[in-house]
Amino acid sequence: MTDKRPTLTLKPKARPAADRRAPGAVGRNPVPAGAAAKGPARGQGGHGKPGPSASGQPRPADPDRRPVGKPPRAQGGDFPGQQPRAQREEAPRLRQSHEVKVAPQRDYRPDLKSDSLALALLGAASAVARVRGGSALPQALALVFAAYDATPQARGAIQDIAYRTMRQLGRSETLLGLMTSKAPEPPMLGGLLCAALSLLDPPEGQAAPYEAFTVVDQAVNAAAAHPDFAHAKAMVNAVLRRFLREREALVAEALREPLARFNYPQWWIDTMRAAYPRDWEAVLEAGNVHPPLTLRVNRRKTDVSAYLHALNEAGLQAEQVGLTAVRLAQAINVAQIPGFADGVVSVQDAGAQLAAPLLDLKDGMRVLDACAAPGGKSGHILETADVQLTSVDADPARLARVGDNLGRLGLDATLLAADAGSRDWWDGRQYDRILADVPCTASGIVRRHPDIRWLRRKSDTSQLATLSSKILDNLWQMLLPDGKLLFVTCSLWPQESEAQAAAFAARHDAVRLDAPGQLLPLGGAGQDHDGLFYALFQKKAA
């Protein structure tokens, strides 16, 4: 996530003319040249705290100094009839009203029609603000859906706009910076403007999903329906209409910035360019494209040719793109996919479908799927051979999804909620095969999870590489001699992939077998897959 611009705060009301004094003046009368001021002048310490003098040394207190032309103070006080100065100085100082920040009401349920674009924009704005606060987009959307009690139709619209906004966030925020003096406050207001801009300013070659006047009108309605920024509805209207009037010039100016051109943080752009000097731009662009819907055919229930025929009968165009991979020409809801509910097919990227075949599975083997959630690879392993599978994941909630997915397929495995980096859960019996899909920055799947680029920091790469190294070392002890371990990561950064694999092989004197290595998500025929890395190791016989 990029660094936030300074937030927009209300300016304090202008002081009365009598109080607008230059530094070095008290009351209405100036202090004689060379004299120290009684209190801190504006810009010199402020808020009642003594500021440094011009020489950089603290100003000495002088209780006997008084403004020129003023009567002497009464004994024990500042002026006749006032309480003693010491008591007033001990009293807590109240903050000025413009400094008070009210907690945003992100869970506020607006009074808008469930099928309105205004509700979808507001829901997307809330999700974007949550991501900017550090939440992952799926979790942010779940909170929005619950708060709004959203219908299935509303959920689809909110999710679509939220994902559009995430993919174009760099460009939209740059455009906002050109049209506003500071980032809109609260963050949800900025999210609303970015969501609206993502609809008004679609990627090149794509048609706008709504008429421009509809987007502006509904964005204003959305602003008016939320108590945190109802006062800003005129600003929302002005900003969006200005964009429509000056679109060509504003976009041209924005695209001078890499943030707007590529929609990634600068550190991400720099890292990609250094890692892949020939392909970096194509990889970045591919990450901004909506991913295709790719299915894995369950060969225990049907074969690819038969399933393609079934899709054709249902009026759905598709093509085979791998051994068991079928890609639909048009993405649809999973509930509408023929055979999905019966376990005939599962949703899985074509690149991810390489894992099970690389393991060279045989019936009766003991197999470990470490870091298994959400269970796509576990399902593919069990579809490939009759093995004794143990699926481990540290997150019990995510592990439950593994069970759900296997249940839909009619398959079974031993599920353990445990840390793959420890041995507390291990029974001491070594495995024939281990799949280690270790934690990483997930930089290779940003087209599916566009929020990742805004949530990650450059330092995350080293931290996650260290964690993954610990997990790999631990799992190696659980592998039988002559057994195979498949190291998988969905990262594009060499530190997490090739450098990690080379260091691992050197530490353990492991035999490195043929594997695809780094898959770049370049798009196009044969390369329309996620950015995964594969390294296969075999343990030498004792």
Annotated binding site: which residue ranges?
371-377, 393, 419, 437
| Residue 46 identity | G
Beta bridge partners of 520: none
Q: Please, which residues have CB within 8 angstroms of residue 332's CB and are 6 or more apart in sequence? A: 293, 316
CB–CB of 353/366 below 8 Å? no
Sign of the CA dihedral 120, 125, 126, 127?
positive
Judge whether 432 and 367 are in contact, CB under 8 Å: yes
Burial class (CB in 10 A: 0-12, 13-18, 19+), 154: buried
Annotated binding residues for S-adenosyl-L-methionine, written as ranges, equal 371-377, 393, 419, 437
490: annotated active-site residue: yes
Q: What's the CA gap between 376 and 363, in Å, rounded?
A: 19
> With contact defined as beta carbons under 8 Å apart, do 456 and 502 qualify?
no
In 30-115, which ranges are continuous DSSP H helix? 85-90
Place of tokens 């929609």: 263
Helix (H) or strand (E) holding 485: strand 479-489
> SS3 of 77, please?
coil
Instruction: Return the axis-axis angle of helices 187-200 and 117-132, rounded to nearest 10°.
Output: 120
Query: How far is 99 from 20, CA to CA, in rounded Å?
Result: 20
Residues 6+ apart with CB under 8 A from 406: 375, 378, 379, 382, 412, 413
Cβ count near 384 (within 10 Å):
20
The catalytic position among 344, 472, 490, 532 is 490
For the chain, how long is the longest CA-to-CA vector?
102
Strand residue runs (E) in 360-407: 366-370, 388-393
443, 468 contact by CB (below 8 A)? no
- For 125, 162, 255, 276, 522, the CA distances from 120, given in Å and listed in that order, are 8, 9, 28, 38, 32
Place of tokens 């097919």: 345
Tell me the helices (H) and strands (E) count for the chain, helix number first.
19, 13
Burial class (CB in 10 A: 0-12, 13-18, 19+), 8: middle
- CA–CA distance, 448 with 130 (Å, rounded to integer): 18
Q: Catalytic residue positions?
A: 490
